[in-house]
Amino acid sequence: MADLDSRPIGVFDSGIGGLTVLKELALQFPHESFLYVGDTARLPYGSKSPQTIRKYSEQIIQFLKKQNVKAIVIACNTASSQVSEKEIDGIPVYNVIEPGSQRALELSSGKRIGVLATRATVNSQAYTNKIHAIDPSAQVFDQACPLFVPLAEEGWDSDPVTNLIVFRYLTPLMQQHIDTLILGCTHYPILKNSIARVTGSSIELVDSGEAIARWLSRDMQSGRLGKNQSGEIRQINIMTTDSSAHFTEMAQRILKPAKADSFAVVDV
């Protein structure tokens, strides 16, 4: 691929969670344009079958391909657990599991890694398998957190109820003496402050957005992914599969200081 490419980078998730990844990418790559798809009509993905998750993901990937994106970021751990391809129809595809796994191993001092994720991601063993493929000596402890996504979607990131639920989910992992914790769902960084209050400063938190930004930067440096240096003003356009004033409000809040240029409802 040429070093220069002004086409947008496609990003998708089932709902608002992937906006935490979009925000990180928008801040790390201030000249790049982005096209985000939130599959709000069919969320959550975490409680659905692997076959359904794969089907929904393929439909959104084909939609993004028609929008002429230069790369696709699967900003959803559940979808990432079902789409392992690094390239589809010539378009680079990035999922969040491999970058997150690698980053956790880089940060972990004792190779005792916790994973917070949806039931679908936990059941897939995607993080455990990827971490062990990189370092078989690492120990992985996972915890399904089905209530985290609705709490994040409601914007209850500072609610006392959220603090209690976070404590309940994290207690088994803390008893395993983990030193690193993967936020294995892109919704979970919205609850990062509540999570950090339980883990304390001694446990490293791995955020999918930060991890995947490193991979995009690497590929831009190597030339696998072209950079936008055309001088055009970058655009951040957000599309959803169902209209929601709440989604728009939450998106504007999550993306700050970045800002969306447009919102639209689409069929995929």
Catalytic residue IDs: 76, 185
User: What would the two tokens of residue 244 be?
Assistant: 């929601």
**In the chain, where does DSSP find H-type helix?**
19-28, 50-66, 77-80, 97-107, 119-124, 126-134, 148-154, 160-174, 192-199, 208-222, 245-255
CA distance 91 to 93: 6
CA distance 35 to 8: 6
CA distance 31 to 154: 31
**Residue 4, amino acid:** L
Omega into 160 within 30° of 0, i.e. cis? Answer: no
Going by the DSSP 8-state scheme, the letter that residue 4 receives in this structure is B
Count of residues in the chain? 268
Taking the chain, what is the end-to-end CA distance rounded to the nearest angstrom?
A: 27
**Residue 53, amino acid:** I
User: What would the two tokens of residue 219 be?
Assistant: 């590929």
